[in-house]
Amino acid sequence: MKTQNIAPFSYKYYEYMLQHALETGAIISSFEKFSYSHERTIILRHDVDFHLNGVMQLATIEANLGVSSTYMFRVHANEYNLFSPYTYKILENVLSLGHEIGLHYECMSFCRALNNKNPEQVFTQEKIVLESIIGRNVISATEHRDISCAVHKTPYFSDNFNPEDYGIEHFAMSDKYHKEMKYLSDSNGHWKEGDLFKHIDAHNRFQILTHPDWWYQDDLLLKGAYFHGFEH
């Protein structure tokens, strides 16, 4: 597939990347719909860090291609509010397209900032809040790392606790999804190892992490700090 004329991180590029993967015979799914029974599989994960713009765009592209993915949402974000009608509608639409909603937890940095010593309790609270908003169980999760974690040397929740002990069936950074599959991430707007086009023929199982923050229609600058997109 020719992608020379398609800008990296444009929605069009994302669509072409998935189309190409499907043409190689891969089954693309969320964590909840993933099955080892297929030989070639790609789990799609999105960490919704700061921008909601990009969520419905990517979710719609995926649904039009007949695939699903997992959108991990934060409950402590300053940049979006899960309780606002706007966000609530996005959550509802993501689910109605057949995607999964997971928890992008941040109990460790939350507890550090508040001198609260009980990340287990905060983890459970985050999960309950998200579940009560979406009206269904949350079984997939991964940790959101605030940039200040580097300064404060904040440990990962999974250094001391196993998310699977707290009702999580699919911890995205567990060995089975992280080490035993080819893991590719667009963190910081950069595919460190190259994107799916580069690796699709060399592996049978993938977890692909993308952040809606980095993907755009015409220019990333047009998303702005609090721009919520054209979709509604």
Binding site for Zn ion (CB under 5 A): 47, 49, 144
Select 200 or 223, whichever has its Cβ closest to Zn ion: 223
How far is it, in rounded angstroms, from Cα 32 to Cα 69? 9
Best CA proximity match to 153, nearest among 106, 109, 104, 105: 109
Three-state SS at 210: strand
- Token pair in block for residue 15: 């669509």
Select 99 or 211, whichever has its Cβ closest to Zn ion: 211
Smallest distance from Zn ion to CB 16, Å: 25
E strand or H helix at 171, and its extent? strand 170-171
Looking at residue 50, what DSSP letter applies?
Answer: S
Smallest distance from Zn ion to CB 36, Å: 27
Select 49 or 126, whichever has its Cβ closest to Zn ion: 49
Select 110 or 200, whichever has its Cβ closest to Zn ion: 110
Smallest distance from Zn ion to CB 66, Å: 27
Smallest distance from Zn ion to CB 185, Å: 11
Select 144 or 223, whichever has its Cβ closest to Zn ion: 144
How far is it, in rounded angstroms, from Cα 26 to Cα 46? 19
Residue closest to Zn ion when measured from CB atoms: 144
How far is it, in rounded angstroms, from Cα 17 to Cα 199? 11
Select 21 or 172, whichever has its Cβ closest to Zn ion: 172
Query: Is the separation of the CB atoms in 98 and 140 below 8 Å?
Result: no
Smallest distance from Zn ion to CB 181, Å: 19
* Centroid of chain to Cα 46: 2
Provide φ and ψ at 205, rounded to 5°.
-130, 135
E strand or H helix at 28, and its extent? strand 27-29
Smallest distance from Zn ion to CB 52, Å: 14
